[in-house]
């Protein structure tokens, strides 16, 4: 646990009593503060009370009397589409509003660091797609190299739930736009921007607000090194804003689409080969085609970003390449779960939007595609240009029939349920085919989250004869 600094002897309200909220309350208490817990959900309050906490009703007129700050969970809106009433009241009364990420950065460094030979460092990863894989890959490379490391944030443990720093440790954090948007302190040593595609637009008031939330990690965070994916206009803009000149090697540009040899420092992948260039010449190369845990161009972009971040930490290309080959990938992200009678079954349940589904469809051949769920704004017509490898689609969930209409004349079957889709795809599949779950939709019509959807797919595949 990271005891929160700066609130000793003060009352701090905590709004939202999920995993991060309860970890925040414990960290505040460990730092000498008095946490005042609240959640509008009676079930969440009951769970907190069962864990030994006392709730403090923020609906009372005097609820914020003497409160030094309000710490809110990331999922609670503070501005768009409508501010949560407790956050709006705190802001109106002049009470600072923060989240656990802001508390982490104000509390991570301690006087004990003066005794370390090597100061601990933080690597923060944000973006629309690939940030979980990139975060996990950076963490895996560091562990493979024998460097002390922890992983937290939007993946693994909550940031305040990790252990205090050790000499030379590197903490790798995955940060969503919800987390970077409100944090009052952001001071990463290395910050990574993977890419940007439309998502969470209602929460941020449109694409500009969404990008601005992620940009804060760089513009206000002031990292020593910035690893920037430049395959979209926003990444090009961000790299341009951060670099003082073309040769500025504090900005490492990353691409999975084109050569980037003319900058101070760049890492790119073309035709399955990763190349690192510095000051106009190539200094390293890795063949990514046989790295089983990182299939497809989208994962090659993740590999480039992780390579750049760990090179900035001083690791050698040879050591990074070794770690690539031992990386198993993350569950629900282009994860090969089985091969039966020459048919590959891939779980990419995390492909919840059009952009991530597009990348999955480009990564495999001879695809039997399982898609559908709770469709997102804008539909899936943008995927028409990426169906060349799809032999047949098997549509499920609330938006299954809409997907079929939008993607006509794609060969398809309306299956409604995952059980029917897996059975139909397995029935049709031939040796050399890939049965790919890449829904291009949220899961909430049939599952509580994308993880449960992916787990159900894996369970059904496991039952197939084999």
The pLDDT tens digits for 81-94 are 999 999 999 999 99
Residue 32 has what DSSP assignment?
Answer: T
User: Would you call 200 a catalytic residue per the annotation?
Assistant: yes
* N-terminal to C-terminal alpha carbon distance within the chain: 46
Pairing between β-strand 281-287 and β-strand 273-278 as defined by DSSP bridges: antiparallel
**pLDDT at position 158, please?**
92
Question: Per-residue pLDDT for 388 more than 80?
Answer: yes
Catalytic residue among 29, 200, 389, 452: 200
The CATH class, in words, for 335-463 is alpha beta
Which residue from 217, 205, 123 is spatially nearest to 176, judged by alpha carbons?
Answer: 217
Question: Per-residue pLDDT for 261 more than 80?
Answer: no
For the chain, give every domain's residue range.
11-98, 108-325, 335-463
**pLDDT at position 439, please?**
98
CA distances from 80 to 210, 375, 436 (A): 11, 21, 35
Question: Per-residue pLDDT for 244 more than 90?
Answer: yes
Catalytic residue among 99, 154, 195, 347: 154
132 is annotated as contributing to ligand binding: yes
| Cis preceding-peptide flag for 409 (omega within 30 of 0) | yes
User: Would you call 449 a catalytic residue per the annotation?
Assistant: no
Question: Per-residue pLDDT for 389 more than 80?
Answer: yes
Burial 132-150 (b: 16+ CB within 10 A, else e): bbbbbbbbbbbbbbebbbb
User: Do 125 and 174 meet the contact criterion of CB atoms below 8 Å apart?
Assistant: yes
**pLDDT at position 168, please?**
97
Question: Per-residue pLDDT for 10 more than 90?
Answer: yes
Question: Per-residue pLDDT for 253 more than 90?
Answer: yes
User: Considering the chain, what percentage of its residues have pLDDT values greater than 90?
Assistant: 89
Helix axes 233-242, 207-219, angle to 10 degrees: 30
**Which residues make Cβ contacts (< 8 Å) with residue 351, sequence separation at least 6?**
357, 359, 360, 438, 439, 440
Which residue from 68, 70, 64, 44 is spatially nearest to 55, judged by alpha carbons?
Answer: 44
Catalytic residue among 131, 204, 300, 456: 131
**Which residues make Cβ contacts (< 8 Å) with residue 161, sequence separation at least 6?**
1, 2, 23, 26, 27, 152
pLDDT in tens, 335-359: 899 999 999 999 999 999 898 899 8
**pLDDT at position 8, please?**
97
pLDDT in tens, 183-230: 999 999 999 999 998 777 888 889 999 999 999 999 999 999 999 999
Distance from C-alpha of 348 to C-alpha of 225, rounded to nearest angstrom: 31
Assign a CATH topology to domain 108-325.
3.40.1190
Could you count the other beta carbons within 10 Å of the beta carbon of residue 65? 9
452 is annotated as contributing to ligand binding: no
127 is annotated as contributing to ligand binding: yes
The pTM of the full predicted model, rounded to 2 decimals, is 0.86
Question: Per-residue pLDDT for 257 more than 90?
Answer: no
| Domain 11-98 listed as CATH 3.40.50.720 | yes
CA distances from 395 to 56, 333, 362, 424, 466 (A): 46, 19, 19, 11, 24
131 is annotated as contributing to ligand binding: yes
29 is annotated as contributing to ligand binding: no
User: Would you call 302 a catalytic residue per the annotation?
Assistant: no
């Amino acid at each position: 646990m990271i005891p929160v600094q700066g609130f000793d002897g003060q009352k701090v309200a905590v709004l939202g009593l999920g995993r991060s909220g309860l970890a925040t309350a414990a960290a505040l208490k460990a730092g000498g503060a008095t946490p005042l817990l609240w959640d509008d959900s009676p079930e969440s309050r009951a769970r907190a009370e069962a864990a030994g906490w006392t709730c403090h009703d923020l609906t009372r007129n005097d609820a914020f009397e003497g409160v030094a700050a309000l710490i809110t969970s990331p999922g609670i809106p503070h501005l768009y589409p409508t501010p949560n009433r407790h956050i709006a009241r705190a802001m109106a009364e002049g009470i600072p509003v923060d989240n656990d990420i802001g508390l982490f950065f104000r509390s991570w460094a301690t006087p004990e660091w003066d005794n370390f030979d090597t100061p601990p460092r933080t690597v923060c990863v944000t973006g629309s797609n690939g940030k979980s894989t990139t975060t996990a890959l950076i963490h895996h490379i560091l562990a493979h190299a024998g460097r002390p490391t922890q992983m937290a944030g939007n993946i693994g443990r909550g940031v305040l739930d990790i252990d205090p720093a050790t000499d030379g440790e590197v903490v790798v954090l995955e940060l969503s736009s919800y987390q970077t948007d409100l944090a009052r302190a952001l001071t990463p040593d290395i910050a990574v921007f993977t890419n940007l595609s439309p998502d969470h637009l209602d929460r941020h008031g449109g694409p500009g607000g969404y990008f601005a939330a992620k940009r804060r990690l760089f513009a206000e965070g002031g990292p020593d090194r910035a690893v920037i994916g430049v395959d979209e206009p926003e990444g090009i803009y961000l790299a341009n804003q951060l670099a003082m000149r073309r040769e500025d090697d504090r900005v490492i540009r990353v691409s999975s689409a084109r050569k980037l040899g003319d900058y101070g420092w760049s890492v790119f992948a073309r035709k399955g080969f990763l190349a690192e260039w510095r000051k106009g010449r190539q200094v390293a190369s890795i063949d990514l085609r046989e790295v089983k845990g990182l299939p497809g161009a989208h994962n090659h972009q993740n590999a480039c970003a992780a390579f750049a971040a760990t090179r900035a930490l001083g690791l050698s290309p040879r050591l990074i390449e070794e770690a690539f080959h031992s990386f198993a990938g993350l569950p629900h992200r282009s994860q090969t779960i089985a091969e039966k009678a020459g048919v590959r079954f891939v779980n990419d349940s995390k492909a919840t939007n059009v952009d991530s589904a597009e990348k999955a469809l480009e990564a495999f051949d001879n695809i039997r595609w399982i898609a559908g769920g709770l469709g997102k704004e804008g539909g899936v017509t943008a995927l028409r240009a990426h169906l060349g490898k799809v032999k047949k689609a098997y549509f499920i969930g609330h938006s299954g029939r809409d997907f079929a209409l939008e993607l006509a004349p794609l060969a398809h079957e309306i299956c409604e349920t995952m059980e029917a889709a897996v059975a139909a795809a397995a029935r049709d599949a031939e040796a050399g085919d890939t049965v790919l779950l890449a829904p291009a939709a949220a899961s909430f019509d049939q599952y509580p989250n994308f993880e449960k959807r992916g787990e159900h797919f894996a369970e059904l595949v496991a039952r197939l004869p084999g």
